[in-house]
Every structure is written in structure tokens, then in C-alpha cells.
A and B are shown apart, each in its own frame.
Chain A
Amino acid sequence: MFDKTLTAAAVAATIEDGMTVGVGGWGPRRKPMALVRELLRSPVKDLTVVAYGGPEVGMLCAAGKVRKLTYGFVSLDAIPVEPWFRRAREAGAFEARELDEGLLQWGLRAAAMRVPFLPTPVGLASDVMSFNPDFRTVRSPYDDAEVLLAMPALKLDVALLHVDRADRRGNVQTLGPDPYFDELFARAAARCYVSCEELVDRIDASHAADARFNLVERSYITGVVPARFGAHPTSNPPAYGWDMEHLRAYCALATQEQGWLTYRAQHLAGSEADYLARAGGESRLAALPVPVF
């Protein structure tokens, strides 16, 4: 049978020390947290993480798994600076590859298109160049002779995404208002795993009318993990909003020396089902309101 389903633990087991892992979503929005939680439970270390960062970056930093971070921001929106990220950064715990947000997707696009770089003026004259001392410039071969940044391809070993719906073949749909840059994360990665709110046998049989919400074609999807509420505590509109109560408690622990051990013991001990039960169970999670801006 043509079936890409597997468990989150099986995904985590494929991620080796030193790999480059891209995480989809945006800040506290539609992050593949069930997959990240399995990474947090695994012994993996020395990761290079590429993300429009939210709590997954803070948690991976807190757990000491990040050697290098490529990011434009790490934010929880209502909590502007992710405090665990801040703490790790101020401690010099990882190599910071800070980028303009647009450059991050440009680097993913270069990887997706299998070119070594894509040109852009963006980044020049800013400290993007000092955060990334290996970045080079190119001169336009045309009459303008403009000097541009050659944004290098951000090749990912693995991309992790969360979607609303998937089938066993890896056809995926996101129903929220913004697909973010998940498509490029998938295309830039050698392997891409998605967690999904709902697993169906054949999406063409059950949800053909939603085909325009197809994030990326299934040839880029390596594996599918059923994970209802798998984005919690981040939002997954229109199904549910972020869990600001959970996020605030998590952030408050960042000021405590043993704060991460506390979070781990409170939330990561046991299975994903245990996690969801402790987070309030289905009735509470399904009722988390989608934020209004």
C-alpha cells in the first residue's frame, strides 16, 4: 500500500546530530509542535535550525539542541521577544545567523530551485553581512553592473510542517488565511515531514473541493504524522488559536535557573496524548479562540 504515515517518534529518530532542520509556520502560528516535542524528547543535538521563529526555537534552545540558528526573528507576537531564545542568545549559546525575513525565503527558494544563490540588493549596507561573514556579493553581468548580495541556498536536511489535512500518500492542505513559507521549506529540504490535524485515506475522494489549499505537491512530502492539535500551543486558524495562557507560563519559566527542567517535567514527560490531556484536553483546545489583530 502507498502509505507515508509514521509516528512523530519515528520522524525524530531520522534526525541526526548536526543536521539542518527547517521549521514551517510563522512565530506562534501553525508550528509543527508535536514533531518538535519528539525532537525535544530525543537525544539529538548540534542542530542548525532555520525558521521564522516561534516557541519551537525557544524550546530547542532551552533544551540545548541548537548549534546554529538562521532566523529573521523569534517572536510569540503578543510576547514580542521569545524569552528562551533571548536567554540563549545573550548567553552566546548558539551561532546567530540573523537575516532579513525576505532573505530567508530567498535562500530557501535558491535551494528549492537548485541554484547556489539568488541575487538581491537586500542585506547590503546592513549587519546582515556581519552576522553572515560567508556571504558574498556578485556584479550584474549586464550593463547596469549593479553589485548585489548573492544569497546562498539554504539547503535543509529535513523540513517539519504542520497542516490541517493530509492523506496517506502525502497530499496536504492548509485551510488558514496564510500558507506562510511552508511550500519553500518543503522544496528546500531533502526530506519533509508533516503533522496533520486530520488524516484521510484519499484526499481526492473526500476533499477535492479544497484542492486549492494544497500547500505543495506530494512528491515533496516524505512522511505524514497524524497529530490532532499538533500545533498547540501555537495557533492553527481557522481551527484554533494560540494558547497564550500556556505560552505565558512557559515564558515565565525562562527567568528561573531550572525553568526548562520544570517545563519538561510538566509538559513533555510521557506521550503526546499525555501532553494534550495536561494542556486541557480536546474540549479546551478546540475552544481556543483565533486571535483578532
Chain B
Amino acid sequence: MGAPVTLAELAIAAASEAWRGDGEVLASGIGVVPRLAASLAKLTHSPELMMTDAEAHLVEEPVPLGPRGTYQPKFSGSMSFARVFDCVWGGRRHVMIGPIQIDRYGQTNLSGIGDRVRPKVQMLGMRGLPGNSMCHANSMFVTAHSKRVFVPGEVDIVGGVGYNPARWPAGANSSHVDLRLIVSDLCVMDFGGTGHAIRVRSLHPGVTLDAVRQASGFPLEAAGQPPATAMPTEEQLAIIHRLDPHDLRAGVFKGNPLVGAGTAA
């Protein structure tokens, strides 16, 4: 028997799959789980990924989260914001973020809740969502799978664009839109359904397809009964522990629950 496995660790391992086979793209994980997932991908199946120190440099060795003690990041190159933007528009990036809303078309919102002109709640703003979603691969991470996140209709403010033909002007090139994986606290989904519909790929231990559908504001496809999300391996867990020495991942999900039998695969 290995160490107990938390939902956060399961999500990190599942999310790391988003970058598998991407080649030499900048892997950007925004937030604790996406960042650890990108780092895990680079240290396991996809060493060719590029990564930053979360500031302005490229590193070949993913940087642990939080205070570093004696650890010194070793820079392999420069990645100023200007270069990030060039990298985004040039298409050589795959980012995973946590939008506040996602709709059936994969459109995402970080701007705010309610009316665009007079929002009920102003959030971050568009940030880089229009460019990210237009130019390169995008994945998403959701801490609380619910109809408040997976909204009926469209997101209140469209930052990240998606597969909604009504939004695209005639003659625009939507061919670079590339929405990949969604990892939530309940399941893993992708855009492999009919006409890029969102589809359940795997269910986290103890979660039913019905429960996922009831927590979503639009229909979800599924090819038969989805399998269980793979438990992280001992090797993956060791890497996660090393990259997150202050256990920031324990604060991601309410109550930091354990999953399944609570031990590694």
C-alpha cells in the first residue's frame, strides 16, 4: 500500500495528460493544479515541453511552488510577457486555466458575472483569453463542477472563443481553435463529441455519469459508460510531492478529500 491519494493529486495526474504529444510548445498551467500538471507532464511523458519559472524565464527543470529554500531555478532562456504574446499568436503554446464560466461551445469567461455594461460582479477581465483560444491549444480546470460554471446557453461575457458558429464573422479563420481537455472535481471531459460537443471521458472514483450531468447546465455526451479516471502512480505522486513541498494542492478542493481506496495505482 502506498500513500493516500487526494482528489487534487488525481486531478493533477489527469490534467497532465492534456499536454501529452504536444511537442515543443510552451506549457502554461495557471493555478496550482494546472501548473503542477504541466510540470508533471514535462517530467514524465513529455520532456520536450517548454516551461517558465512563472515570471520571465524559461526553465528545463520545472520550478517547485512557493518558497524555495536553497533551490535556485536554472534559466535556459527568456520568456518576457512580450515573448509570451508572440508565442501565443504564433500558436506554439498550450495553456490550462480555470475559467469562471464555460458553455457548451467551449467559450470561456474570466471577465465577470452578469451584464457586460454593468456587471453584477467584475472579475479579472479578458486577460489573454481571446488570443489564447484563437491561436493555440487550450484546456480547462474546474474546482467545483456545477451549473454555475458549466452554464446553460452562453457564458455571460465571451473571453475565450469556442465552437459557436453564430459568433464567427464570415471569412474569419477559426481553424486554430483547439480546445482539448477539461478536468473538474468530478470527471475528465474533452471536445470529442458531435460537432466538438463536450464529452465525458472518465469519471473520478465514486462519481456517476448522472451526477456529472445533473451538475452541468447543458447536455454532455459520453461514449457508453466512461471508465474511472486513472489513479496517479507512485512515480507521479513522488514528483507531485517534490514539486509542491508546501502542499499548496491541499487547498484546491474543499476539505482536500481522498479518492477511491486512497492509494496509488
Q: Using CB atoms and an 8 Å cutoff, list the residues of chain A in contact with chain B.
A: 26, 53, 71-75, 80-81, 85-86, 89-90, 92, 96, 98-103, 105, 120-128, 130-131, 137, 139, 145-148, 177-181, 292-293
Contacts and interface: CB of A to CB of B under 8 A. Distances in A.
Contacts of B92: none
A102 B89 contact: yes
Contacts of A130: 116
Given A89-B122, A146-B172, 19 more contacts: A81-B123, A98-B126, A102-B131, A103-B130, A121-B135, A121-B173, A122-B130, A124-B161, A125-B174, A126-B129, A126-B133, A126-B158, A126-B161, A127-B116, A139-B171, A147-B170, A177-B55, A178-B55, A293-B53
B171 A100 contact: no
A102 B176 CA distance: 17
Nearest to A95: B117
Contact of A125 (B112, B119, B121, B167): B167
A148 B170 CA distance: 10
Contacts of A145: 171
A105 B89 CA distance: 12
Interface of B: 53-57, 63, 66-68, 80-82, 85, 88-89, 111-112, 116-131, 133-135, 157-161, 164, 167-174, 176
Contact of A181 (B82, B117, B135, B172): B82
B71 to A, nearest CB: 10
B131 A101 contact: yes
B57 A177 contact: yes
A111 B101 CA distance: 34
A180 B85 CA distance: 11
Contact of B122 (A90, A121, A146): A90
A178 B80 CA distance: 5
A169 B159 CA distance: 43
Given A101-B85, A126-B159, A130-B116, A85 B122 contact: yes
Q: Which of the listed residues B125, B127, B134, B173 has the most CB atoms from chain A within 10 Å of its own CB?
A: B125
B119 A72 contact: no
Given A122-B131, A126-B126, A146-B172, A292 B68 contact: yes
Contacts of A146: 171-173
B129 A125 contact: no
B62 to A, nearest CB: 12
Given A71-B125, A80-B124, A147-B170, A125 B117 contact: no
Top 9 A-B residue pairs of the complex, sorted by shortest distance between their CB atoms? A147-B171, A293-B54, A73-B125, A177-B56, A100-B130, A178-B56, A125-B161, A126-B130, A89-B122
A89 B120 CA distance: 9
Contacts of A126: 126, 129-130, 133-134, 158-161, 167
A72 B132 CA distance: 13
A99 B131 CA distance: 10
A5 to B, nearest CB: 29
A40 B2 CA distance: 59
B102 to A, nearest CB: 14
A69 to B, nearest CB: 10
B168 A100 contact: no
7 contacts: A92-B117, A100-B131, A124-B134, A146-B173, A147-B169, A181-B81, A293-B55
Contacts of B88: 102
A250 to B, nearest CB: 17
Contacts of B168: 124-125
A211 to B, nearest CB: 17
Given A75-B124, A127-B157, A178-B80, A121 B66 contact: no
B134 A125 contact: yes
A144 to B, nearest CB: 8
Contacts of B157: 127
Nearest to B167: A125
A181 B133 CA distance: 22
Nearest to A126: B130
B72 to A, nearest CB: 11
A85 B54 CA distance: 25
Contacts of A71: 125
A103 B89 CA distance: 10
B116 A131 contact: yes
B126 A72 contact: yes
Contacts of B85: 101-102, 105
A90 B120 contact: yes
A86 B172 contact: no
Contacts of B134: 121-126
A62 to B, nearest CB: 14
B126 A128 contact: yes
A74 B122 CA distance: 10
B54 to A, nearest CB: 4
A55 to B, nearest CB: 15
B69 to A, nearest CB: 10
B157 to A, nearest CB: 5
A89 B112 CA distance: 10
A213 to B, nearest CB: 13
A128 B130 contact: yes
A245 to B, nearest CB: 17
